[in-house]
Chains A and B, each alone.
Chain A
Amino acid sequence: GAVVSQHPSRVICKSGTSVKIECRSLDFQATTMFWYRQFPKQSLMLMATSNEGSKATYEQGVEKDKFLINHASLTLSTLTVTSAHPEDSSFYICSAPREMNTEAFFGQGTRLTVV
C-alpha cells in the first residue's frame, strides 16, 4: 500500500485563488519531504525541500512567497500555491525518504489546473 499519501489528486481553481496540497507519510516519520513539479512530457524538477520544524529550502528560480511550504509535523507537509495563475498549472509530486540510501516514496501527485 501507499506509504506517502498526497491530496488532492486533481484540482481546478480560478486564477487568483490559492490551493493547498497535502503530503502525508503514513507509517513512518519524515523529517524531510521534497516537492517536485513536472511539466507535460518533462522530468521532475525539484522545487523545494521541506524540513520539519524549520523553513523550507527552495531551489533557484522558485518563488518562496508563491509556493508556501509548511512542515508542521513529522508526517505532514503542505504546499500552498498562492494567487495561482494559468502558468502554475502543472503536476506536483511530493516525496519522502524513509532512510538514507533507500528509495524515496512518492505521493500520487496533484494535477493542478488554473483557469
Chain B
Amino acid sequence: AQSVTQLDSHVSVSEGTPVLLRCNYSSSYSPSLFWYVQHPNKGLQLLLKYTSAATLVKGINGFEAEFKKSETSFHLTKPSAHMSDAAEYFCVVSPNQAGTALIFGKGTTLSVSS
C-alpha cells in the first residue's frame, strides 16, 4: 500500500528566506510523486512531479524537490519565499495503477510574512 505523510501542518517563513516543506512516502515499489499547490478558494495546480527520471526535480515558480529513496522523502524547497507563495501545499503519491486515484497528504499551510 502507498501512503504519504506531510510532517508539518503549518510552516511560517519571512519573505526572502528559504522554504522547506517536508514529505515522506511509503510505497512497495518506485512511486510517482507530485507536489500540488492550492491557493484559497482555488483549484489545484501542479508544481512538479517525479516519475523515476532525475531525482532532483525542478518545478514552477522556483520550487524544486529531491527524491531520496534511502530516506523515502520528497521534500519541497524554494531558495527565497515570496508573498504569493502563501498557500496550501499537498504532497501526492500515485499508485501507478490505471484507474486508481492519487493519494494525498494532509497538506501543509505555508504562511509568508513581510
- Which positions in A face B, CB cutoff 8 Å? 6, 31-32, 34, 41-44, 46, 49, 51, 91, 93, 95, 100-104, 106-109, 111
Contact = CB atoms under 8 A, between A and B. Distances in A.
Interface in B65-111: 90, 94, 96-99, 101-102, 104-107, 109
Given A43-B90, A100-B96, A111-B41, 17 more contacts: A32-B99, A34-B102, A43-B105, A43-B106, A93-B44, A95-B44, A95-B102, A100-B97, A100-B98, A101-B51, A101-B94, A102-B32, A103-B34, A103-B49, A106-B36, A108-B43, A109-B42
Contacts, number: 53
Interface of B: 32, 34, 36, 41-44, 46, 49, 51, 90, 94, 96-99, 101-102, 104-107, 109
Given A42-B106, A95-B102, A108 B42 contact: yes
